[in-house]
Amino acid sequence: VDPHLLRTFVAVARHGSFSAAARALGYTQSAVSQHIAALEADLRAPLLTRRPVAPTPAGARLLEHAGPLLLRLEAARADVTRLINAPRAARLTVGATPLAARSAALARALAEVRRAHPAARVAVRMLPRGEVPAGVATGRLDAGLVDGTVAPTDPLPLPDVGPVATRPLGEQPLAVVVPRDHPLARRPGLRLADLADARWLDAPEAAVPLGRLRAAGGAGGPDGFRPALRYEGTDPEVLLALAAAGHGLTVLPLPFAAGVATPLGAAVVPLTAPQLVHRTELLLPAAGPGDETGPAGALAAVLTAA
């Protein structure tokens, strides 16, 4: 399982074609063909069907491994390189998940950084949850903000792409968003277990994923929290509008939901049990001790102080 072969394998699978992958990688079709043949010989199994080019079951399984594997490889390389050329250019790129990017702390911290480092090129990049840790580990981001729903005592479950430092930035209570005229809208609070039979908005990128609710909801078993409509976007306001229109329930951080719910015709009911919080965490490349210099260090210092 030579990483080079793996790289061309994923390229072929992505492009659905040997020749396209070859172009993308700067190889000849022949080389790509040889790579795939070598992989298949190594694992003693066909990984792709030709004509049309598509992964076999074994190939699909290998693909699941390939992504994280290549990511970790890149992260290792980037991490050591970063340790060597310690003082980097005066630029700061921060990645953030949609909800985390709305954090007031981030805006304040960025202002502080720009004041302290006027020459620094500061950029904020909005990314899906999975890509923020990857970006920080591979050095494409200097820092990341991720949010997630967990019990108050537990750390955010992040895909481990290598040694990264995390610092909690803040926790917010959660709320269920329902249409204004919904029978539950007037309740003072709701328990997740009572909502297992409702129809939900499935929005893994914009809100708390249904699987998470199912795991936390207790009652309802594996059949609870059925999705009614799937929203694949990342904008929580769109999601809230969908909830207001009656397409299903959703769970969002209470302060955010309360801020925009009323004009959209939605009601916001605090989630009282089980006790879950929406936490935002700062992700930094795990640097040596005392590496609090430059824009990234300043950002960390400001955010942590808040």
Partner DNA sequence: CCCGGTTACGCTTGTCGTAAAGATT
Partner DNA sequence: AATCTTTACGACAAGCGTAACCGGG
In the complex, the residues that contact its own copies under the rule CB under 8 A are 1-3, 43-45, 57-58, 61-62, 64-66, 68-69, 72-73, 75-77, 79-81, 83-84, 150-155, 157, 159-160, 162-163, 215-216, 218, 274-276, 288
Instruction: Report what 162 binds from DNA, its own copies, none; CB cut-off 5-8 Å by kind.
Output: its own copies
User: Residue 29 or 304: which CB sits closer to DNA?
Assistant: 29
Residue ranges binding DNA (CB under 7 A): 2, 4, 17-19, 26-31, 33-38, 50-51, 53
Question: What's the min distance (Å) between Cβ of 9 and DNA?
Answer: 12
From CA 69, how far away is CA 12, in angstroms rounded?
17
Instruction: Report what 62 binds from DNA, its own copies, none; CB cut-off 5-8 Å by kind.
Output: its own copies
Cα 19 to chain center, whole Å?
A: 32
Spatial CA neighbour of 227 closest among 214, 240, 241: 214
Q: Is 238 helix (H, G, I), strand (E, B) or coil?
A: helix
Question: Do the beta carbons of residue 87 and residue 122 sit within 8 Å?
Answer: no
Instruction: Report what 211 binds from its own copies, DNA, none; CB cut-off 5-8 Å by kind.
Output: none
Spell out the alpha helix ranges (H) of the chain. 3-15, 18-25, 29-43, 57-84, 98-101, 104-116, 131-138, 210-217, 236-244, 254-264, 294-305
User: Residue 19 or 56: which CB sits closer to DNA?
Assistant: 19
User: Residue 87 or 157: which CB sits closer to its own copies?
Assistant: 157
Give backbone dihedrals phi and psi of 102, rounded to 5 degrees, phi first.
-80, -10
Question: What's the min distance (Å) between Cβ of 7 and DNA?
Answer: 10
Instruction: Report what 293 binds from its own copies, DNA, none; CB cut-off 5-8 Å by kind.
Output: none
Question: What's the min distance (Å) between Cβ of 53 and DNA?
Answer: 5
Name residue 249's beta-bridge partners. 200
User: Residue 3 or 233: which CB sits closer to its own copies?
Assistant: 3
Instruction: Report what 53 binds from DNA, its own copies, none; CB cut-off 5-8 Å by kind.
Output: DNA
Question: What's the min distance (Å) between Cβ of 34 and DNA?
Answer: 5
Question: Do the beta carbons of residue 144 and residue 136 sit within 8 Å?
Answer: yes
Preceding amide of 274 cis, omega within 30: yes
Question: What's the min distance (Å) between Cβ of 22 and DNA?
Answer: 7
Question: What's the min distance (Å) between Cβ of 4 and its own copies?
Answer: 9
Name residue 283's beta-bridge partners. 144, 166
* Distances 48 to 4, 5, 76, 199 between C-alpha atoms, Å: 17, 13, 29, 39
Cα 103 to chain center, whole Å?
A: 16
Instruction: Report what 30 binds from DNA, its own copies, none; CB cut-off 5-8 Å by kind.
Output: DNA
Q: Is 67 helix (H, G, I), strand (E, B) or coil?
A: helix
Q: Is 95 helix (H, G, I), strand (E, B) or coil?
A: strand
Question: Do the beta carbons of residue 260 and residue 177 sit within 8 Å?
Answer: no
Radius of gyration in angstroms for the set of CA atoms belonging to the chain, rounded to a whole number: 23
User: Residue 182 or 278: which CB sits closer to its own copies?
Assistant: 278
User: Residue 30 or 262: which CB sits closer to DNA?
Assistant: 30
Instruction: Report what 72 binds from its own copies, DNA, none; CB cut-off 5-8 Å by kind.
Output: its own copies
Question: What's the min distance (Å) between Cβ of 255 and DNA?
Answer: 52
The secondary structure element, H or E, covering residue 173 is: strand 164-179
